[in-house]
Amino acid sequence: MQGIMNQPAHRRTRAWASDYFARPGTVACWWDPIAADDPEFQAWFTGQLEDVLTIAQPRGKRILDAATGRGRAAVGAALAGAADVVAADISDEMLGHAQETATRAGVGDRIEFVRADLERPFLEEESFDVVLLLEVLLHFEHPERVLSNLVRVLKPGGLLVVTTNGANPVSRLFQPDKGGAAPASRWKLAAAAAVNEAMTAFFGFTWARTGPTAALYRHFFNAPVRPLYPRQVRALLRGAGLDLVYHRACPDQLFPREHRWAAWKRASFSPGSRAAPDAVD
């Protein structure tokens, strides 16, 4: 991240997020949702995946795990009887970890691993029954492009399943303290979320509009991350040509830690028929 942050501000703002996640030694250093050194974190994401697979019903279907990370969802879909699984990620390093995960689970030969930037068109059109997009929508500079590209590869009537973090800083106070290699109290997490909320409103995603705000951002966050509220997610899904069929706030409605969504691709939607919303940036 340091090398990117040392670039002039006008250059940082264009591809900051995708550059960060593509580089080795970045996301792989901190993103391990089933890490054994944080039992609460592990239990949460194990339960999340079980819920997602219940929604997706992957048996006999062609599944895309977009931004696969360490491959937990791709492996889960393969173990649940998916006919075909593709795991895509912008990071070669994370794809290597995902392949290791699949090999350990005994499904390495049943998953195709593809390097892809989700903000650019990739793979063949209308080729997947289900697309999974877990824990990453808040990291994209252009989430509307990502959803448009995922809708493009979905078959008509295909299902997109998305998880998004609860954006309300207060919700952080109702979550356990972080454990593992980089522990953080719920108060520190709440403060960081509140600062991100305010600064994003004034300066935009990653705050990288000026040198001082970029330095402040680096002080708080390891990776590009934006506040993303349910109303914004709904607008993004509608704008991409999807009909929302499932939404669950977890663990409760008042201060949810996470939102889980499922939406069908409209058979009659064409990508140019509706302008993408500007609800996020």
pLDDT digits (tens, 9 = 90+) for 133-176: 999 999 998 999 999 999 999 999 999 999 998 788 888 888 88
Task: Express as a percent the part of the chain with pLDDT over 90.
Answer: 59
The one-character DSSP state at 58 is -
Four-point Cα dihedral 59, 65, 68, 70, nearest 10: 10
Position 229 scores a pLDDT of 92
Cβ neighbours of residue 154 closer than 8 Å, sequence gap 6 or more: 126, 128, 129, 131, 160, 265
Helix (H, G, I), strand (E, B) or coil at 174: coil
What is the pLDDT, as a whole number, of residue 273? Answer: 42
User: CA 85, CA 78: separation in Å to the nearest integer?
Assistant: 7
pTM score of the predicted model: 0.88
Separation between Cα atoms, residue 122 and residue 114, nearest integer Å = 10
111, 75 contact by CB (below 8 A): yes
Q: State which H helix or E strand residue 104 sits in.
A: helix 92-105
The pLDDT of residue 139 is: 93
pLDDT, one tens digit per residue, over 101-144 is 999 999 999 999 999 999 999 999 999 999 999 999 999 989 99
Confidence tier at 72 by pLDDT (50, 70, 90): very high
Enter the DSSP assignment of 125: T
Per the prediction, the chain carries an average pLDDT of 87
Structure-model confidence comparison of residues 112 and 195, the more confident one:
112
3-state secondary structure 210-237: CHHHHHHHHHHCCCCCCCCCHHHHHHHH
Structure tokens at 7: 């670039």
Distances in Å between the alpha carbon of 139 and those of 105, 134, 227?
A: 28, 11, 9
Please choose, from the candidates 65, 70, 154, the residue with its C-alpha nearest in 3D space to the C-alpha of residue 112: 65
Strands (E), the chain: 62-66, 84-89, 111-115, 128-134, 154-165, 242-250, 258-265
At 181 the pLDDT is 67
Peptide bond into 251 cis (omega under 30): yes
Domains recognised in the chain with CATH numbers: 2-265 (3.40.50.150)
Tally DSSP H helices, then E strands, for the chain: 10, 7
Nearest to 171 by CA among 183, 161, 186: 186
- pLDDT for the residue numbered 4: 30
